[in-house]
């Protein structure tokens, strides 16, 4: 009897620090049967694919190769990690103009060959580029997802866990809003085992500041962030491929979410095989709601400026 294995195909567009680390993470965790690497630097994509292939005897059977956009044809998930990198001292919003131009060609090339997959955006500024990708692609909104504040929420959970000496996996806390300087922690819901956190306002401020500055600190120290975002992208991919209905703080289009509409922004969402199945409207205090709206207005202003 022949066992039929359901093929799962993932394409990674852009194999710089984030793209190559994400591809390697997906390979190590055996998330797919076929992995395609696309980059304008074809030698880099070829070298990464060859390097990964040499490790297959240690991890299992996956078809890894450097390809082009025609290889997107039957992909389940297309991860976009291409674009200009954030430089020391540069904000994610500073990257907008450069990366919108790059995305214009990328999205056109993807949709020429693929109309049914899920686009997962990692490039910054991720909320605006996810919104642009949705508009440009013509895909249903559930099938264009940004990594959002999933990594920010993970950083928050880690820093809280350090303060209270609890496994970070047991800490439940969300950051909503922009993946950037205006992100907002929902302290009113943060807990471990249902227990409200007994942190002082000073400790909370310290944790929030460290969460917001995390990427800048890493970029100053080594030039780029890539390990944790690769794990965050792997988490989203897993929720999709396994049809998990997991609640993840991804970037998606909101409609009357605490008074905010028509912007991609990081909010807790149910992620399954369809992409974002549903946005979860979490309760917020008046102050949290005000900060969330302010974050959304900032993104909307940038979208308007960029004429997206």
Kindly list the catalytic residues.
Answer: 179
CA distance 30 to 159: 29
**Two tokens at 197?**
């956190």
Quickly list H helices, the chain.
17-28, 42-53, 56-59, 96-113, 126-137, 150-164, 201-222, 227-241, 286-305
Residue 134 sits at the vertex; the CA angle it makes with 129 and 140, to the nearest 5 degrees, is: 155
Q: Contact at 8 Å (CB) between 62 and 28? A: no
Contact of 151 with 232, CB cutoff 8 Å: yes
Place of tokens 């040499």: 54
């Amino acid at each position: 009897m022949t066992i039929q294995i359901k093929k799962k195909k993932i394409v990674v567009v852009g194999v710089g620090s984030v793209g190559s680390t994400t591809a390697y993470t997906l390979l190590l965790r055996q998330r797919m049967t076929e992995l395609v690497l696309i980059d304008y630097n074809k030698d880099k994509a070829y070298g990464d694919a060859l390097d990964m292939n040499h490790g297959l005897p240690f991890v299992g059977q996956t078809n890894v190769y450097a390809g082009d956009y025609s290889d997107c044809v039957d992909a389940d998930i297309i991860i976009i990690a291409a674009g200009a990198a954030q430089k020391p001292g540069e904000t994610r919003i500073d990257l907008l103009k450069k990366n919108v131009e790059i995305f214009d060609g990328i999205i056109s090339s993807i949709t020429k060959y693929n109309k049914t997959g899920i686009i997962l955006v990692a490039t910054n500024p991720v909320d605006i580029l996810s919104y642009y990708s949705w508009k440009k692609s013509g895909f249903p909104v559930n099938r264009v997802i940004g990594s959002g504040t999933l990594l920010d929420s993970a950083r928050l959970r880690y820093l809280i866990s350090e303060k209270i000496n609890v496994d970070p996996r047991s800490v439940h806390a969300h950051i909503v809003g922009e993946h950037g300087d205006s992100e907002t922690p929902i302290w009113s819901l943060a807990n471990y085992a249902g227990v409200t956190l007994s942190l002082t306002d000073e400790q909370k401020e310290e944790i929030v500041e460290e969460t917001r500055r995390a990427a800048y600190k890493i970029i100053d120290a080594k030039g780029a962030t890539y390990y944790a975002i690769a794990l965050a992208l792997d988490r989203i991919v897993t929720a999709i491929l396994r049809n998990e209905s997991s609640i993840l703080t991804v970037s998606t289009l909101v409609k009357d979410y605490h008074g905010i509409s028509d912007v991609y922004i990081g909010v807790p969402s149910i992620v399954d095989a369809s992409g974002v199945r549903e946005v979860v409207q979490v309760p917020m205090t008046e102050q949290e709601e005000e900060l969330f709206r302010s974050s959304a207005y900032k993104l909307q202003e940038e979208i308007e400026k960029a004429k997206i």
